[in-house]
Structure 1
Amino acid sequence: MLIARLFLLLAIVAEVAGTSTMSFIGESNAWEGYLVMYVLIAISYYFLSIAAKKISIGVAYATWEGLGIALITVVSMVLFDADLNTQQLFGLGLAIVGIVCVTLGESHGEPQQKDERSHSSNARC
């Protein structure tokens, strides 16, 4: 499960980097910037798909999207001088609390094996 979380973290970092390059692309409009953005977002989806093999897709996607939004906001504030009001900061805080609650509520038990006899009896229909 730790490896899956590492892949999820890599997916989030790649998404934040790819999305953050959009502002740089807007300034230069160079095709290389678009290439970097698309590659980073593709890498993000790749790592998300690996993480989703061990983490339920709902939890993985909520974490990926929510923490991505929060980190992109921080990057925007630091690098691009974005200004957020109190309501926006409060909303981001609520989103982060929600993500933590969803992640902590995830079941970590092993999936139960189906009884082969009941499975084979259904196949005779």
Structure 2
Amino acid sequence: MGVDRDEERDERIEMEIIVDTYGAEEQAMGWNAYLDDTLEFPFEARCRTEREESPLEEGEPVRVVGMPTTDSTLSQQFVTIEWKNRELGVPLKQLEPVDASNTTEQAVADWHYWLKR
């Protein structure tokens, strides 16, 4: 398991996202705040993997419009998408940006990297 270590990404995560946090709950809140502040909504994304808790199919394009009020955990952060004429919360883990700003792409990549570690 895991992924090759990325010093720059590790430093950003340690110094900006989970700095001054103690325990999983505070780290989850740090991630939630970072993603909420960094992701530039709306952006286009694609489902990269099917998940039991989500109706999206692999390869399905979606428009990400925000962050839901759902409590996040250290292994699960959600975003709100427009899907079939309604808004729905899905795991960010499931998505990859397609048409998004560099900061949005970096934030999503940071989250995916964190999950693989």
TM-score, length-scaled by structure 2? 0.27
Higher-helix-fraction structure: 1
